[in-house]
A and B are shown apart, each in its own frame.
Chain A
């Protein structure tokens, strides 16, 4: 495939530099600040708090998401993000461990330069881990865009999102690392790593969409390695 260069000089598969800071906030039970290039999201987790809201199932824990934009009033876009995050996080949390409780996740957009939703999902997953909420597995989110010539580019920024015909935000579970390192890598890929969440914008063909998923899946294992290292570092610094 041809070597297309993106506006900011990255190659199609190149992600922006990631960084994750654990527990920058003191009052919150768990918090994380996730930065992808210039997109920075701060997530804080409080919970589990007693009681559930009206309408929620009291036999399970419930997740409440509050999304705070950088400026302006809360509108439909923010409500949509809250809903997507809530459903995504509900699927990874072990809800039956603490029934009849509410865990609230609050997100603050500190900087927005594209791929905001994936950054927020990564931040909230890290914050949940730092808070000690029991999870089935981690989520790894990535934004993929489809260029005119069919190339799939990863980790879109604002300029690219505005120009591209279509782009998608995809969320995968993290890659499994087997304790027995003798297992060959190919076997790992055979595991069915289903797609947790997918939000698309614009029109793309079926092939393009499946290309996006394939690329996203490949990139997600790198992001999940990064997440694993960060979480391990945080955990070891807490114990020390």
Chain B
């Protein structure tokens, strides 16, 4: 099939160039304005969707334990995988990534890894044997121009909300790594020292005219481009100018100054979005905690080695357990069993589970909730069934299910449920961000 890249017509090209000479952009922006940025997150941590004007990028972070590189035995690894999905642009073919895809991957990679934005040494578990390998998948869903900036923001947002499972070194020889289930021990956030923000400039008309955040039409018409990855402290993490129009050094310096201003602005937007997401999650978990706190529960750890046995193990402990505190979603996850390692597809399902209940205190931002009150493992009665999907469903569904379920031993069950029903009004999910056109409420079917 022949090249399907969108090529501008002569009229479009001239229109864009002439408008820029009068300092007008086709979409009405000023030369140094970014488009509207919208960051939303998925159910589980580590999943982000960024919309920069028409450009749409999905970021997803996973981690697994691997052997470290020989020359860096006490550092974890970070890898960025970029997917130019054919849905973003008719010119993107599935299969081998084109040169712009590789360039994007390299620029984002340099900005994050080589600037040491993510702390690698904290990802080490057993030096020389086990370290966490963090993998960031960036899927370009819609090419509206300026993919590098949007992908960079998606990667940062996803890394900020990603939580890796906690693991301890133990066992007989002190070398065995035990990975803890997320509901047993709270998963930990990554240590991010600073946020390198990529700002892309497009040059027109022999390098005289500069605009920030070009749309795909402007990109097709531009003479050259430069991406400056800069953080809010003003440190330049990376500059990428691959060919194109020659630009005077004075103009380049001006661009860098503009970039540092923009970087500060975008950093605050990302931080705000991440903060609201994490506090929302923490609130949901805190509200699930009943007024009367139970006694200490036995903590089961799911060992890395035997995934199948681990499930049985948690279930037998459940049977012997007396207390029931959780609002049901804990055992929903326990029933899925399995280790929380993300390399496994099942673990991924666990992360996407409709888990809303169960307190855990991974959130570094929440104040006023004491560690001891939250760090209780939730291993409820096997008789309890969970109402994990209640997040999406309407209120009547919730009360109906709470009547039907056996929330046995906990006296605060009823109180907890009414709180949960209240909670229904406010929870936001990725779906809310997407503006569902037609929300289907619960379906009661009485088919024979």
Contact check, A159 vs B336: say whether CB atoms are below 8 A apart. Answer: yes
Instruction: Report A8-38 CB contacts with B as 1/0, cut-off 8 Å.
Output: 1111011111111110111110010101011
Complexed CA–CA distance, A35 and B440 (Å):
10
Q: Which residue of A lies closest to B86 (CB)?
A: A106
A215 within 8 Å of B (CB atoms):
yes
Contact check, A234 vs B437: say whether CB atoms are below 8 A apart. Answer: yes
Complexed CA–CA distance, A5 and B336 (Å):
17
Which residues of chain B have C-beta atoms less than 8 A from A72's C-beta?
345
B4 to chain A, nearest CB (A): 7
Interface segment out of the listed B26-34, B67-75, B360-368, B385-393: B385-393
Which residues of chain B have C-beta atoms less than 8 A from A20's C-beta?
436-438
Contact check, A218 vs B447: say whether CB atoms are below 8 A apart. Answer: yes
Contact check, A10 vs B438: say whether CB atoms are below 8 A apart. Answer: no
Contact check, B335 vs A159: say whether CB atoms are below 8 A apart. Answer: yes
Q: Which residue of B lies closest to A23 (CB)?
A: B437
Cross-interface CB contact of B438 among A19, A49, A51, A219, cutoff 8 Å: A19
Q: Which residue of B lies closest to A110 (CB)?
A: B58
B181 to chain A, nearest CB (A): 15
Contact check, A104 vs B86: say whether CB atoms are below 8 A apart. Answer: yes
Contact check, B436 vs A157: say whether CB atoms are below 8 A apart. Answer: no
Contact check, B87 vs A42: say whether CB atoms are below 8 A apart. Answer: yes
Contact check, B389 vs A40: say whether CB atoms are below 8 A apart. Answer: no
Complexed CA–CA distance, A157 and B137 (Å):
24
Q: Which residue of B lies closest to A215 (CB)?
A: B447
Contact check, A19 vs B348: say whether CB atoms are below 8 A apart. Answer: no
Complexed CA–CA distance, A35 and B447 (Å):
24
Complexed CA–CA distance, A25 and B85 (Å):
12
Interface segment out of the listed A63-71, A168-176, A178-186: A63-71
Which residues of chain B have C-beta atoms less than 8 A from A230's C-beta?
437-438
Contact check, B336 vs A162: say whether CB atoms are below 8 A apart. Answer: yes
| Range class of the A interface residue count | 35 or more
B123 to chain A, nearest CB (A): 18
Interface segment out of the listed B141-149, B162-170, B185-193: B141-149
Which residues of chain B have C-beta atoms less than 8 A from A49's C-beta?
1, 4, 90
Using A7-B385, A9-B385, A26-B54 as known contacts, say yes or no to A17 and B392 having CB atoms under 8 A apart.
yes
Which residues of chain A have C-beta atoms less than 8 A from B435's C-beta?
21
Q: Which residue of A lies closest to B446 (CB)?
A: A13
Complexed CA–CA distance, A20 and B387 (Å):
24
Which residues of chain B have C-beta atoms less than 8 A from A219's C-beta?
443, 445, 447
Cross-interface CB contact of A226 among B56, B94, B349, B440, cutoff 8 Å: B440
Using A106-B85, A108-B141, A112-B352 as known contacts, say yes or no to A233 and B43 having CB atoms under 8 A apart.
no
Which residues of chain B have C-beta atoms less than 8 A from A165's C-beta?
none
Total residues of chain B contacting the partner, CB 8 A: 67
Using A38-B354, A71-B135, A111-B352 as known contacts, say yes or no to A33 and B434 having CB atoms under 8 A apart.
yes
Interface segment out of the listed B106-114, B242-250, B257-265, B397-405: B397-405
The count of A-to-B residue pairs whose CB atoms sit within 8 angstroms is 198
Complexed CA–CA distance, A106 and B58 (Å):
15
Contact check, A31 vs B87: say whether CB atoms are below 8 A apart. Answer: yes
Instruction: Report B123-157 CB contacts with A as 1/0, cut-off 8 Å.
Output: 00000000000010101011110000000000000
B225 within 8 Å of A (CB atoms):
no
A113 within 8 Å of B (CB atoms):
yes
Contact check, B42 vs A111: say whether CB atoms are below 8 A apart. Answer: yes
Query: In chain B between 60 and 95, which residues have their CB closer than 8 angstroms to a CB of chain A?
Result: 60, 62, 83, 85-90, 94
Complexed CA–CA distance, A234 and B386 (Å):
36
Cross-interface CB contact of B388 among A7, A22, A42, A68, cutoff 8 Å: A7
A61 within 8 Å of B (CB atoms):
no
Cross-interface CB contact of A233 among B353, B385, B437, B445, cutoff 8 Å: B437
Contact check, B336 vs A27: say whether CB atoms are below 8 A apart. Answer: no
Cross-interface CB contact of A17 among B43, B439, B445, B446, cutoff 8 Å: B439
B444 within 8 Å of A (CB atoms):
yes
Using A8-B388, A19-B439, A26-B142 as known contacts, say yes or no to A40 and B431 having CB atoms under 8 A apart.
yes
Query: In chain B between 299 and 348, which residues have their CB closer than 8 angstroms to a CB of chain A?
Result: 332, 335-336, 345-346, 348
B293 to chain A, nearest CB (A): 25
Complexed CA–CA distance, A42 and B139 (Å):
12
Query: In chain B between 409 and 442, which residues have their CB closer than 8 angstroms to a CB of chain A?
Result: 430-431, 434-442
Which residues of chain B have C-beta atoms less than 8 A from A96's C-beta?
none
Complexed CA–CA distance, A81 and B435 (Å):
28
Complexed CA–CA distance, A40 and B41 (Å):
13
B448 to chain A, nearest CB (A): 8
Cross-interface CB contact of A9 among B144, B405, B431, cutoff 8 Å: B405
A194 to chain B, nearest CB (A): 19
Complexed CA–CA distance, A104 and B86 (Å):
9
B212 to chain A, nearest CB (A): 20
Query: In chain A between 42 and 57, which residues have their CB closer than 8 angstroms to a CB of chain B?
Result: 42, 44, 46, 49-51
For A9, A11, A110, A226, which residue has the most chain B Cβ atoms within 10 angstroms? A9
A231 to chain B, nearest CB (A): 10
B302 to chain A, nearest CB (A): 16
Complexed CA–CA distance, A112 and B43 (Å):
11
Instruction: List the 3 shortest-distance A-B pairs measured between CB atoms, nearest first.
Output: A19-B436, A44-B87, A9-B401
Given A13-B444, A27-B144, 7 other A-B contacts at CB below 8 A?
Answer: A9-B385, A13-B447, A19-B440, A24-B56, A71-B60, A222-B443, A226-B440
11 contacts between A and B (CB under 8 A): A6-B385, A16-B392, A16-B393, A26-B142, A37-B392, A44-B141, A46-B87, A66-B87, A70-B60, A159-B349, A218-B447
